[in-house]
Structure 1
């Protein structure tokens, strides 16, 4: 999985935003900070990653 750089702070510490009904594995990964749960509906041209350093959403 590619780690896109944050356009705001330049950090490479970003995580994927996962949309849809989360599985128990997804909840566990979110609790570990490996992904972010984005809700049940994926927005058109919405963010695909979130910066763990500054919290910015990264469109992808």
Structure 2
């Protein structure tokens, strides 16, 4: 949506709190970028890599 409005990848990254290279990679993988889908994928990926510390 932001790209269609003429925003640059850097501007979108700043608005969404993501790194520009992350957005660039996601856009390269997807023909149509969906911020909601990307957020869901980010959260799912983040949960896979949680470090569990046992006392």
TM-score in same-fold range (> 0.5): no
RCO greater where, 1 or 2, for CA within 8 Å and sep 6 or more?
Answer: 1
Q: Which has the higher helix share?
A: 2
- TM-score of Structure 1 vs Structure 2, range by shorter chain: under 0.3
Q: Which has the higher strand share?
A: 1
Normalised by the length of structure 1, the TM-score is 0.24
Normalised by the length of structure 2, the TM-score is 0.25
Instruction: Report which of the two structures shows the higher radius of gyration computed on alpha carbons.
Output: 2
